[in-house]
Structure 1
Amino acid sequence: MRKPRNTGFTLVEILIVVVILGILAAIVVPQFTNASQQAIKGALASQLQTINSQVELYRVQNAGTLPTIAATEPNGGWGIMITNDFLKDEPNNGYTRSSNVSEAGYVGAPATDGSAAGWYYQTTTGEVFANGYNHDTNLLANETGYVALTP
């Protein structure tokens, strides 16, 4: 009579597979994290370009007068821009997860995730800044180590 042959995997073979999977995971996971950061940066850069273009268009169509974009306005501060069809909806800052806008007193130290304001508006120049994103360096706050920017 023949003895049945065991056809399972040995412990060494299983350990080799686990090690290979661990190495692959260590390589792939940071790539997904980087891709989401790049997506947020791309979206913020695009939104900033659109918002600032629309603010400039408002200024041109209103004899040089800048729009009143402030937290006291409806729609998170974007009321005048939405009412006059310069923006379709409140822009949402993907980093801070907020569409609220505040007057910019100081711009330079971006916010941390979850900050109250998504955008800052410079009332003297009409420029809008994304909270948590530096458009000059294309870096998010978590990449620079800055602390939260508060109005």
Structure 2
Amino acid sequence: MQTVLNQLMKMTMTSTFRRRAVQGFTLIELLIVVIIIAILAAIAIPQFANSSNDAQESALDANLNTVRSAIELYRVQHNNRFPGVAASNGGDAAACNAAGGALGTGAVNTDVAFTNQLTGFSNAAGQTCTVAAAGFLFGPYLRAIPNESIGNNNTVNMDLVVGAPAPAAGGLGWRFNTITGRFIINNSSPDRRNAPLSNH
């Protein structure tokens, strides 16, 4: 008798499971799963956005440190003058051309002179050549001026006075003060700690 009961229960359970498998999920069950997925997505997506902002600001800090170090090394090797203060054009054209290079083209206090002097070979006066040549003993200090990671721009805006205006919110590129040697991002939008990016 017990065996017959066990067999009947087994058949009933098996047929219930088979019917259930054929019917699929109910609408309520599907809605619950969708709601759970939506809740998990709402929790996870802001975390990814924060990670992206953190990565941009970390890249900004790394680029600032690299360029600031290059500026300081240039200043030490060029009689306490910052890059961009002297013209990068001029110099021994014959030596530069013989080495297969070209002379710098930047005038005094320009972003071109700043870039030439940090990315080229220079003499003590700050005149540059694109390749190592006789008389151009210093540098290069950088391969290129890096893009700032917030606006992806490497333009250098030159400030020629001590009390230069503050960067604008959402500005692009870099700012360099030729008098103080201050190199910052040209953007005063708030960072993740709600401080201006230009304070980095």
Q: TM (normalized to structure 1)?
A: 0.76
Give the alignment of 1:100-139 within 5 angstroms: 100-104=155-159, 105-107=164-166, 109-112=167-170, 115=171, 117-132=172-187, 139=190
| CA contact 2:147–2:154 (8 Å) conserved in 1 | yes
Q: Is the Cα contact below 8 Å between 1:120 and 1:129 reproduced in 2? A: yes
Alignment of 1:52-131 (within 5 A): 52-68=68-84, 72-73=111-112, 78-84=115-121, 85-104=140-159, 105-107=164-166, 109-112=167-170, 115=171, 117-131=172-186
1:35 aligns with 2:74: no
2:30 equivalent in structure 1: 14
Partner Cα separation in structure 2 for residue 9 and residue 143 of structure 1: 47
Q: Residue 26 of structure 1: CA displacement?
A: 0.5
1:68–1:80 distance in 2 versus 1, CA, 3 Å: same
Q: Report the equivalent of 1:45.
A: 61
Which runs of no fewer than 5 residues in structure 2 stay unpaired?
A: 1-14, 86-108, 122-139
State the alpha-carbon separation in 1 of the partners of residues 80 and 30 from structure 2. 71
Task: Give the counterpart letter for 1:123 in structure 2.
Answer: T
SS in 1 for 2:112: coil
Higher relative contact order (CA 8 A, sep 6+): 1
SS at the partner of 1:102?
Answer: strand
The 8 Å contact of residues 154 and 173 in structure 2, kept in 1 or not, is answered as: yes
Q: How many angstroms does 1:44 deviate by?
A: 0.6
Instruction: Specify the code of the residue in structure 1 equivalent to 2:30.
Output: I
Deviating runs (4+, > 4 A) in structure 1?
Answer: 69-72, 142-146
**Matched length:** 135
Q: 1:13/1:89 Cα in 2 relative to 1: closer, same or farther (>3 Å)?
A: same
Q: Identity across aligned pairs (percent)?
A: 34
CA RMSD between the two structures: 2.9
Residue 102 of structure 1 and its aligned partner are, at CA, apart by 0.2
Alignment TM-score, normalising by the size of structure 2? 0.59
Residue deviations 1:74-98, cap 9 Å, x none? Answer: 7xx5222111311111210110110
Hey, what's the Cα distance between the residues in 2 that align with 1:132 and 1:36? 18
Structure 1 counterpart of 2:12: none
CA displacement 1:12-41 (0-9 Å, x = unmatched): 110000100110010100001000100011
Rg: which structure is higher? Answer: 2
